[in-house]
Amino acid sequence: MSNHIETFLAQLIKHIDKPDGVEPQARIRITDHAYRWYFALNNSEKTALHQSIEALDHLDIQYQRRVTLGAFKHIEAVHITDGRRLMSSQGLTPLADDIQLAFEQLEAAEFNVPWWGTTKRDVAEAWSANKTFNGVKRQQSERLFDAMKVVEWIVQSEDALPVPDIRTLSTMLFHDSKKLEEKSFANLIRRLMLGQLDDDVANLMDDGPKLLEYFGISKYPMPMRFKASAQLVCRGFVDVSALHHGIGVSPDEVKGIEWHQRPSYLLFIENRASFERYVREIDDKGVVIYTAGFPPRAWVHAIEIIIAEIRNGVPVYHWGDRDVGGYRILAFLAKRLDIDIQPYFMGVDASVLTQDGDEIKEIPVVGLMQAIESARGYPAIFELYEDLGKCQRTSLPWIEQEQIAPISPLEKTRVLDG
């Protein structure tokens, strides 16, 4: 069948193929507006098209009755005499049958996800209106169900259990080692989970691959880095205090910790370079934990174990960039760990030396306030929020961690007290 007849039939069938069933008969006018491409064909192409249409069953052609002498006689209208048989003769599935099959598959699909029932209703509503759901067409139901398999795995997995690398998990779920690495597929997973995510997670994990990494699904799971004067409980005991620059450990290995003495402080550091510089230049009794920007879920669980006995007995700080992302991470850690965390070199009064010609990026104060608004219930963050509200400026310079030389909170406190 030529492309012309396929195009012509496709336009005709749109008139009769409806979500509630195929119209049995219809008269369709062939106008130069709707069928502009047809009128633009040369006469031999039109003649060939007419012959192809005349050979079809279940429709009749009405040609123009009045034409100028010598002019080509175009099709004026097509009468479809049996819509369902016409579609069947072309091997086409009626829209209503397609919808019915999709709904049967949707109804049969079950996932151990608390909000699947609500999602299922939303999918049905979109597909009934012949619309996509999160970019998934009705004919792509398997893609939706595959994405829900991953959502189910995430929801049902425990923070303390080891997470397979992304290719192993992809093979486990789909017998395809690279499926989870498809960005569009990962983005669909994110869209399906979006309404259930913490606002800070949703804002910072702004694409699918980042969200999968937050849940520990990545090519190369990264060891959690921290420094402390304590014995780490894994399968055995590891004396972390013997390591001047700290230790890197898989978070699922962390079972407990035994302190040699009460730490002086607890400091979270967002940036890897700043963490590495800090543990090399400062050696005191503080606990220093690298968060890798926004800490993965398994890291947060390990952090909870590490700080369980000291969380209410020592001052807690977070050192990140003074920007919206850094403030969101601060708010997330405070809420997730349920602990009051003092911003470190991130406040309104924080400053860095700049040189003439340096490009200074400004961060709107209102954006910074919005980033920590959800954690205002914690005193230190409430104080930061109030300071921002009183700020006379509409924006503050972006402060990147690497711009600041490491200073221990103990030293900073002594300087302030002096």
pLDDT at 15: 93
pLDDT at 183: 95
CA 175/CA 231 separation, integer angstroms = 41
Q: What is the DSSP string of 31-60?
A: -TTTTHHHHTS-HHHHHHHHHHHHT-SSEE
Nearest to 164 by CA among 302, 298, 293: 298
Nearest to 282 by CA among 259, 262, 265: 265
CA 247/CA 82 separation, integer angstroms = 75
Domain ranges for the chain: 3-89, 95-214, 264-417
pLDDT along the chain (418 residues), means of 10: 87 91 94 93 94 94 84 92 94 87 91 95 89 92 96 86 87 95 96 89 86 88 91 94 93 92 95 95 95 90 94 95 94 95 93 65 94 95 96 91 91 59
pLDDT at 418: 47
What does residue 97 show for φ and ψ, rounded to 5 degrees? -70, -40
Antiparallel, parallel or unpaired: β 287-290 and 224-227: antiparallel
H or E element: which one contains 239? Answer: strand 237-239
pTM reported for the whole predicted model: 0.72
Beta-strand runs (E) in 299-376: 316-319, 342-343, 362-364
Q: Is 28 helix (H, G, I), strand (E, B) or coil?
A: strand
CATH topology of domain 264-417: Dna Topoisomerase Vi A Subunit; Chain: A, domain 2 (3.40.1360)
Which residues, including other chains, have CB under 8 Å from residue 149's CB and lie 6 or more apart? Answer: 111, 173, 174
pLDDT at 132: 93
